[in-house]
Structures are given as C-alpha cells and as structure tokens.
Amino acid sequence: MDLERAKAVCRGFPGATEDIKWSNVLAFSVGGRLFALCGAEAHSTRGMSFKVDAERFLELTDRPGFRPAPYLARAGWVLVARPDALDDAEMAALLHRSYRLIVARLTKKLQLTLENP
C-alpha cells in the first residue's frame, strides 16, 4: 500500500486526528494517543510506523521490509520501510488493529463516544 492510501485509511477511523509532531512527522491519534506515524512531507521515504500485538511484533520484524520502529519498538511498534512489503488489505488490517489497540486503552466513556458519536 502506498503512503497516501495508508494515510486515507487512518483518517477514516472514528475520532482519528492528525497533526505534525517533532517538526516533520505526521502523527495519527485517537483520544490523544498515537496509533500511527509517517513522514509529513509528500516525498518522504520514512515509511509508516504503528502499534502491533506483542505476538505479531517478532513475526513482522522478521519479514523483509519491516523493522522495529525507532524509539517505539519497546512499546510494540513496527516500521514498514518498504511500501511493497504488504498488500493493501493486510496494511489496512494492521492499521485498524493498531487503532483498536489504542482505543482499548482509552477510558470507557471515551470508547463509548467513539462508538456512538
């Protein structure tokens, strides 16, 4: 999946917001908590980072095109360094799972607000 389509997937999640952090990183958040990061510039080759389940972390980082996300690997984040590392459906599923992992850590009240806007 190319980076623009991945950004569109992230923008489509309920309650998702985006902003620029650290001067050149586009951050996607829900409830004030990050669920995906990528380069802010259109020509960025940074790739996309997101949270994964603990049991998927080692599996994904062993695959070509993936590596532990700098600074966030200890929290279970991976970096997709090559856009051809996975197909569109798998990338969308991983981004959705990252979003769901973060939503699960929000307060119940905020979770209900996201489910019933």
Ranges of each domain in the chain: 3-115
* Whole-number average pLDDT of the chain: 91
Please, what is the end-to-end C-alpha distance for the chain in angstroms? Answer: 29
- The answer to whether the predicted template modeling score (pTM) of the entire model surpasses 0.75 is yes
pLDDT computed for residue 42 by the predictor: 63
* Inter-residue contact 10 to 49 (CB < 8 Å): no
Give me the CATH topology for the region 3-115. Aspartate Aminotransferase, domain 1 (3.90.1150)
Task: Note the pLDDT tens digit of each residue in 62-99.
Answer: 999 999 999 999 999 999 988 788 899 999 999 999 99
Fill in the DSSP letter of residue 69: P
Whether the pLDDT of residue 45 is over 70: the answer is no
Q: Other CB atoms closer than 10 Å to residue 80's CB: what's the count? A: 25
- The pLDDT of residue 20: 95
